């Protein structure tokens, strides 16, 4: 029900960010406050009372639902950012892109005593950034509770990279 | 009251992003769900019933409170992103940095009908990115309702750049 509503607004943009890729544009979700609130309520229902102690969102689309979900669950929100953006003491993790590598970072004090961290992002594709986020959480002293994605591109099998951290991997919409 | 609570958790990081700058690190706010919710409630109280028709958040820290505020007010959330991130047809705007320029973008269809848009970001410093956001909103057919910032560095006089778009410029915390 929620899946079909979300799919009806997600927009396919061909040849972005490069020829041959069909990009799933989620910005029409943000243009609908009713759908946004319904999705947030749905996410809250998926995790409320289930032992999530913090949520980590991956910059920057992972901030969109990650922080509101953390606020509604009453748990801290941890920012996982691209290299050079976090100002305080931090831990880094590199991961492979199709060409070259990227780096994400977390503040050393981001985890505190809240150990069981749900990693959230808008999209699971090949799983590179989510796997790097899981490594970061563990390096910072946390435990990976699970993974949540608004959209999963199932044909790319990204979840295979994540299952050694947690088999709790959920999406709202799969393609 | 809320101002002193926020100031008590914002962290000064000296020499970031470069020597001589004291950076206001807002990530400890996100680590406190109670303070986060209190700030969101406060923002809702500032704008509820006041005629805001959409909220535009500037990537990426402007997404953090911008989207939850839009959801609570029941209005669309418009993403203003760095160059090359938005997939669909878009409008661009350059602005000056201390060295060189930066570019931000908005989708051409982000503003449906004539919308009174509140521009939100975490920080008002010299006002360059907020002024560029205002130009983008107008180029896309919107009207600038006003500006909201979590933190304003008042000694930099950034609001001088913004007053020709709207004199409705509010912050939660000023330094």
Q: What is the CATH number of the domain that holds A99?
A: 3.40.50.2020
Number of domains making up chain A: 1
**What is d(CA B58, CA A165) in angstroms, rounded to the nearest whole number?**
33
Task: List the domain range (segments joined by +) for residue B144.
Answer: 50-174
- Spot the catalytic one: A11, A59, A89, A98: A98
pLDDT above 70 covers a percentage of chain A that reads 100
Q: Identify whether A9 is part of a domain.
A: no
User: Please, what is the average pLDDT of chain A?
Assistant: 96
Q: Identify whether A7 is part of a domain.
A: no
Smallest Cα–Cα separation from A170: which of A143, A144, A147, A139?
A147
Mean pLDDT calculated for residue range B135-164: 97
The CA distance from B157 to the nearest CA of chain A, in Å, is 23
Q: Identify whether A113 is part of a domain.
A: yes
pLDDT value for A114: 73
Give residue ranges of A with CB < 8 Å to any B CB.
11, 13, 16-17, 23, 25, 27, 30-34, 36-37, 40, 59-60, 63-65, 67-68, 70-71, 73-79, 81, 84, 86-88, 107, 110, 112
pLDDT above 70 covers a percentage of chain B that reads 99
- Report the residue of chain B nearest A32, measured CA to CA: B76
pLDDT value for A93: 97
Asked whether the whole model's pTM tops 0.95, one would answer yes
Q: Identify whether B45 is part of a domain.
A: no
Q: Identify whether B22 is part of a domain.
A: no
Q: How many helices (H) and strands (E) does chain A have?
A: 5, 9
**What is d(CA A24, CA A11) in angstroms, rounded to the nearest whole number?**
6
Q: Identify whether B80 is part of a domain.
A: yes
pLDDT value for B97: 86
pLDDT value for B112: 82
Mean pLDDT calculated for residue range A123-127: 96
Strands A77-82 and A101-107: antiparallel
Three-state DSSP state, B140: coil
Q: Identify whether A73 is part of a domain.
A: yes
pLDDT value for B100: 85
CB contact under 8 A, B13 and A77: no
- Which residues 6+ apart lie within 8 Å of B126 measured at CB? B156, B158, B161
Which residues of B are catalytically annotated? 61, 98
pLDDT value for B66: 98
Q: Which residues of chain B have a CB within 8 Å of the CB of A60?
A: 59-60, 63, 81
User: Please, what is the average pLDDT of chain B?
Assistant: 96
**Burial of A120 (C-beta count, 10 Å sphere; 0-12/13-18/19+):** buried
Evaluate the CA torsion angle A113, A117, A122, A126 in order and state its sign: positive
- Which residues 6+ apart lie within 8 Å of B40 measured at CB? A71, B65, B68, B69, B72
CB contact under 8 A, A88 and B31: no
Three-state DSSP state, A34: helix
Question: Could you report the per-residue pLDDT of A141-171, keeping only the tens digit for each?
Answer: 999 999 999 999 999 999 999 999 999 999 9
Q: How many helices (H) and strands (E) does chain B have?
A: 5, 9
């Amino acid at each position: 029900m929620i899946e079909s509503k979300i799919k009806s607004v997600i927009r396919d943009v061909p040849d972005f960010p490069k020829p041959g890729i069909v990009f799933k544009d989620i910005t029409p979700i943000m243009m609908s406050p009713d759908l946004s609130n319904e999705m947030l309520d749905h996410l809250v229902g998926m995790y409320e009372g289930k032992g999530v102690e913090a949520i980590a969102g991956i910059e920057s689309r992972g901030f969109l639902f990650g922080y509101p979900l953390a606020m509604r669950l009453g748990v801290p929100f941890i920012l996982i950012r691209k290299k050079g953006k976090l100002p305080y003491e931090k831990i880094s993790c590199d991961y492979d892109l199709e060409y070259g590598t990227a780096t994400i970072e977390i503040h050393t004090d981001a985890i505190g005593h809240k150990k069981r961290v749900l990693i959230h992002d808008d999209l699971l594709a090949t799983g590179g950034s989510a796997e790097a986020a899981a490594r970061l959480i563990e390096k910072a002293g946390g435990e990976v509770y699970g993974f949540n994605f608004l959209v999963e591109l199932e044909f790319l099998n990204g979840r295979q990279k994540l299952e050694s951290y947690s088999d709790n991997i959920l999406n709202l919409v799969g393609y």
